[in-house]
Amino acid sequence: MFKTIKIGTRDSELALWQAKTVQQQLENLGYKTTLVPVKSTGDIVLDKPLYELGITGIFTKTLDIALINNDIDIAVHSLKDVPTILPKSITQVAVLKRGNVNDTLVFKNNEEFLSAPTATIATGSLRRRAQWLNRYPTHTVVDLRGNVNSRLEKLKNNNWNGAIFAAAGIGRIGLRPTESINLDWMIPAPAQGAIMIAALKENTFAIEACQQLNHEETEICTTIEREFLNKLEGGCTAPIGALARIKDDEVNFKGILLSKDGSKKIEVKRVEKLGNHDKIATYASSYIIERGGKRLMDDIKNEGKKTNVYSTKTLTEDQRLLLNDKIKVESSDFIKTNPNRIPKHVVKNSIDNVIITSKNAVDALLTNFSKEELQFKNIYCVGRRTKRLIENKIGTVKHIEKNAKALANYLVEYIEGTEVTYFCSNLRLDDLPTILENNHIKVNEVEAYQTKFDATQLDDTVEGVMFYSPSTVQSFKQKNSNNVIAFCIGETTAKEAKKHFTDIRIAKVPTVESVIELVNEHYT
């Protein structure tokens, strides 16, 4: 044991306290040690919140370099600051017994402001900010950076009601004020309160020495928390909290993901027997993701990005998730429809031939009549989804085509009789009735619903627009002059788009999902 172990640490008071704790424990085992303080980027750059710096492992990178250069043998970290994936040549050697896991509110004067509609709280943590605003949405949260001492000084010198600290941090260096309370309701950062030792994988002497300091219970709990963080693809730029505790041979876990402003949150709890705990992180992260977590994470990642694709129809959550990460999409309905009042005599007698080209026409019919009143002998329609709706709500479809023009050409050849009733909108293309009437088939048009343009004026950053009907193209042009890439649901929509745009893409099948495939192909 003659080799001296060089202990790398940041040079803040708290970091030095942690390093000295490791030093004392190693020396109690008979090892010789020396401290090597190193200043980190996180300590140097104090004029921006952590989550704006965009550096992974901001408090660990400098020590990682010192390890790789053999300037130090081990690095001592607050485990919550360590990226969930370490550099290839570096390994986690030990986790010391955990301290206080809570966040602590340090306040001035008294706690009465907690019940007031307005108050100002300081923190540099996005997680603390989001959870505070979720609980106190009318409060103001300001940024607070620096070491523990400087943050306490800033609280003293500013007109704030309070500031949030890690209980372990202010407790370890004896700076916890009397005017403070633990925030038991706030879920801490993954691995908060734990001290971690890292070393080069090839440094067997340091590894064997430090492994004797490992606290197994803390290692199990922090591993679960950090795996949960990793599976959510989070870091210091996402408001994620996680806490695992072991009691009576059971691991109790709770996790949370929030939007940055705290307006949305998704929570999860899980209990597993010790020994079966390796399933917790996968279960908890999947639970969060399936309940809107991926959308929240995407919104956080895309914050500041300009919208590059717009959908002229509001996309569902499942449809948004199909778009790849390079795409920031927004959507709204460029077309609004209202069913008309259809006179009863229109459907009083059985109608031999009926044409329905949209789901809106189906909705209008069902708004006016019961299924029993709609006695149609032959129903012809456009689109698979329209067909499914008709057969679920009205009756069997005799024939389907992908667009109105194709349906008209089919009817010219195969219609039974010489007359059809066409349930349409006030806005429609002339192809279908013109083709039929030119071939001596009488078309009785029934205006089943009103279509109104309701376009949004788009930013110049929008490169592509998803169109689902000729009307959505027309609506777009009322408010926009951009020569965008037109991602079209079918040939009829593309025909209208060609009047206005030079780059036209047409989906393989007439579905929203197929249009999304077009968009993904362009941005791959």
- Residues assigned a catalytic role: 81
Q: Which of 238, 243, 236, 240 is nearest to 266 (CA)?
A: 240
CA distance 114 to 450: 52
| Residues 229, 281 contacting (CB under 8 angstroms) | no
DSSP-assigned states of every residue in 226-259 = HHHHHHTT--TTS-EEEEEEEETTEEEEEEEEE-
Measured distance CA(258)–CA(130) in Å, rounded = 6
Say if residues 125 and 189 touch (Cβ distance below 8 Å).
yes
The two tokens of residue 335 are 């077309």
| Location of structure tokens 């008709």 | 390
Longest Cα pair distance anywhere in the chain, in angstroms? 105
Query: What is the C-alpha R_g of the chain?
Result: 32
Within 138-291, residue ranges assigned H as helices are 148-157, 167-172, 204-210, 216-231, 280-288
Dist. CA 487–CA 473, nearest whole Å: 11
The Cα–Cα gap between 91 and 210 comes to 12
> Which of 379, 378, 373 is CA-nearest to residue 349?
373
Residue 78 phi/psi, 5° resolution? -75, 120
CA distance 242 to 223: 11
Distance CA 203, CA 391 (A): 71
Give the DSSP letter string of 440-455: T-EEEEEEEEEEEE--
Candidates 160, 125, 361; CA nearest to 237 is 125
Q: DSSP for 15-80?
A: HHHHHHHHHHHHHHTT-EEEEEEE--HHHH--SS-HHHH--TTTTTHHHHHHHHTTS-SEEEEEGG
DSSP state of 346: G
> Got the DSSP string for 391-449?
HHHT---SEEESSHHHHHHHHHHH-SSSEEEEEEESS--SHHHHHHHHTT-EEEEEEEE
